[in-house]
Amino acid sequence: MERISVGDLLILLVEPSTTQQRVIKNYLLELGVRNVDVATSAQEALESMESAPPDLTISAMHLPDMTGADLVVQMRTRTDLSDIPFMLISSETSVRLLEPIRQAGVIAILPKPFDLENLRTALVGAVDLLDPTSLLSEDAYELEGLRVLIVDDSSMSRKHIRRILENIGLEHFAEAENGREGMEIMQQQEFDLVLTDYNMPEMDGEEFVRFVRTQSSQPGVPILMVTSMDDEARLAQVEQEGVSAICDKPFEPRTMLDLLHRVLA
């Protein structure tokens, strides 16, 4: 299969402001992207995606009929649109509005104004998600046989993480919706790698990490925490509990690959 590049991407830009449309399209043109369709509302975007699915949807947060968060959640709950990569470009800082997007499995959240290099990195992330071969040549590890447990209360986030891990070369997965379910699964199966969220019902990520390190039969298994939480004190405590590495939501596939190499080395 011929590899795709950033310039090959067909992008749907969902932006009601003509000024912002022009700014973003100029940045994309500078990066070699020439195939850009525009929608000014979420409904128009959904109709456009139905008729001609894009390689990537880039959206503002505040649209005339719903938020960008509502749009990506609608996309993720529809089988015909669920795999389309999504990027948010917004000046919004509200945790309440941004958290659903972080949990929905997105390529990037860029601020307004944004840096051209950050946009380039996000577009490369979209290519890596779309092209299963894009990361394999960089992988020096034999990952195919590794057994992976993904613990996250967001099904959309689990699906996004699993898709990236599959592109990297991993094949064997188990999933849990919270730390307590993850604990029960680990009492029945052996794993080579665990990925966990922090904020979960029943048992959060910190309690789960503590269980793995102090009470499980697999205390040495590498644990990568993938979280949108930015509380430095709580994250420092998780590190004390023995998490191997922490990865932000959202993240680029190459970031995940680098972290996996580090924790599995």
Residue 211 DSSP SS3: helix
Q: What's the confidence (pLDDT) of residue 2?
A: 60
Answer whether 184's CB lies under 8 Å from 215's CB. Answer: no
CATH class of 6-130: alpha beta
CATH class of 136-264: alpha beta
Q: What's the confidence (pLDDT) of residue 132?
A: 74
**Whole-angstrom distance, CA of residue 61 vs CA of residue 73:** 13
**Whole-angstrom distance, CA of residue 2 vs CA of residue 87:** 24
Q: 139-151 burial by CB neighbour count: b if 16+ within 10 A, else e?
A: eeeebeebbbbbb
Q: What's the confidence (pLDDT) of residue 141?
A: 52
Using alpha carbons, list the distances in angstroms from residue 148 to 89, 131, 155. 32, 22, 16
**What sign for the dihedral angle of Cα 236, 241, 243, 249?**
negative
What single-letter DSSP state applies at residue 135? T
- Tell me how far the alpha carbon of residue 104 is from its chain's centroid: 7
Q: What's the confidence (pLDDT) of residue 1?
A: 47
**Whole-angstrom distance, CA of residue 88 vs CA of residue 112:** 10
Full pLDDT tens readout for the chain, 265 residues: 467 899 999 999 999 999 999 999 999 999 999 999 999 999 999 999 999 999 999 999 999 999 999 999 999 999 999 999 999 999 999 989 999 999 999 999 999 989 999 999 999 999 999 987 777 645 445 677 899 999 999 999 999 999 999 888 888 999 999 999 999 999 999 999 999 999 999 999 999 999 999 999 999 999 999 999 888 888 899 999 999 999 999 998 889 888 988 888 7
- Domain boundaries, given as residue ranges, for the chain: 6-130, 136-264
Nearest to 251, CA basis, from 168, 146, 139, 142 = 168
Angle at 19 between CA 14 and CA 24, to 5 degrees: 55
Question: pTM value?
Answer: 0.91
